[in-house]
Homo-oligomer: A and B are copies of this chain.
Amino acid sequence: MATSRPGPNLSRIATSLGVSVATVSNALSGKGRVSGQLVERIREHAAELGYVPSQAGRALRTGRSGVLGLVLPDIANPLFPKIAQAIEFAASAAGYGVLIADSRGDVAAQTEAINRLVERGVDGMVVIPRRATRISSAACPVAVIDTPSTPGNTVAADHWQGGREIAGHLAGLGHRRILIIGNNQESNVQNDRAGGIRSGMRPGMHSETLWIDRLEQENGNGCPLGLAEKVGQGFTAFAALSDLLALRALTELQQAGINIPTDVSVTGFDDLIWSPVVTPSLTTVRMDMDRIAGIAVSALVDTIRTSSIREGVLVTAEIERVAMQLIVRQSSGPANPAPRTSEKENM
């Protein structure tokens, strides 16, 4: 005896209407040629009975689960809510569910997470890989979201261009000495962002990069960054490669009695939840996550629909680089007290 489901199935609808299950199935899916009035009757009755199609039955028959996997390097990453929300939204719109998997920690865990999703029968997955990881083909189509510097990507934000936006903004405020602050020298994303900032600087501007990972290796996590000294050295702009670092910089500077944005400017990346909330709020650069997720999911879904068999392919999309958008919240700088247009965000 197999465990029965609580709801009605096709067969019950068919019996009670005196038609075949095939006809009910066709009527409900709109695929076979069924007469208009019969379709009507069947749909009505199905709705009345509260019919919910069995995903298991359908999946077994079609070989498709209707579920996508989402593999993240670390769910604790503060960017995660935006990613998950965007992917869930895009997937939902395309009729797919989203199964999450966290590859907390090493590459082995990532592989394991991918396997777990495959075992659960996902039709494809979106992977945001750990730094420096190549996704060797899983047993299903995979869309990779990373930097454009990473080969085999499906789609990515143009972090380099985002960096250029920041540089342009700081140049416009009259800054000459910029301290770039990163916390992961191995990260493609951070390197792209930093490179973009450097490449976007105008003649006469100078930058230096502070990698906190090194600093913390020596002085322990959460150690002071010594930014007040940097101000003493003439730096007036602090371009953090993430909003979390920007927040750390902002509060350290404030604590040292340095006024933002009167004395120095602080910028971040990603427009995370706290950016518009802190005082002064953070100038940052935002990915169009909905667009990125939309591209990734639709490329994935196309591949799934096209390939008749579940195979391991790396999905590629036409549009690879999605521009990042500058959000100016600190509109004045030390060298340029004139107000500029600013955008105010909701909490």
| Partner-contacting stretch, out of A59-67, A124-132, A197-205 | A59-67
Name which of A6, A278, A311 has the most chain B CB atoms within 10 A of its CB.
A278
Contact with B along A261-297 (1 / 0, CB 8 A): 0000000000001101111110000000000000000
Residue of B nearest to A273 (CB): B78
Residue numbers in B under 8 Å from A67 (CB-CB): 99, 120
State in angstroms the CA–CA spacing of A344 and B224 once bound together: 13
Residue of B nearest to A53 (CB): B119
On whether A273 and B76 interact (CB within 8 A), knowing A60-B60, A63-B3, A310-B5, the answer reads: yes
Partner of A56, one of B81, B121, B311: B121
State in angstroms the CA–CA spacing of A345 and B78 once bound together.
16
Q: How far is the CA of A297 from the CA of B104 in the complex (A)?
A: 20
Given A54-B121, A97-B116, A221-B346, A280 contacting B308 (CB threshold 8 A): no
Assess whether B2 is in contact with A63, with CB atoms less than 8 Å apart.
yes
Q: How far is the CA of A78 from the CA of B99 in the complex (A)?
A: 20
| A222 contacts the other chain (CB 8 A) | yes
- Closest chain-B Cβ to A78's Cβ sits at a distance in Å of 5
Question: Smallest CB-CB separation from A120: which chain B residue?
Answer: B97
User: How many chain copies?
Assistant: 2
Q: How many whole Å from A342's CB to the nearest CB in chain B?
A: 12
Contact flag A2-B121 (CB < 8 Å), given A88-B100, A139-B7, A244-B277: no
Q: Do B102 and A85 touch across chains, with their CB atoms under 8 A apart?
A: yes
Most chain B CB inside 10 Å of its own CB: which residue of A57, A97, A221: A97
Contact A56 B53 (CB under 8 A): no
- Chain B residues near A139: list those with CB within 8 A: 6-7, 52
Given contacts A56-B63, A78-B81, could you give 13 more A-B pairs where the C-beta distance is less than 8 Å?
A3-B308, A55-B65, A67-B99, A80-B80, A80-B81, A85-B102, A92-B116, A98-B99, A99-B100, A100-B100, A244-B273, A251-B278, A255-B280
A-B contact pairs, 9 of them (CB 8 A): A2-B62, A53-B119, A56-B121, A76-B85, A76-B273, A77-B81, A92-B101, A97-B99, A251-B280
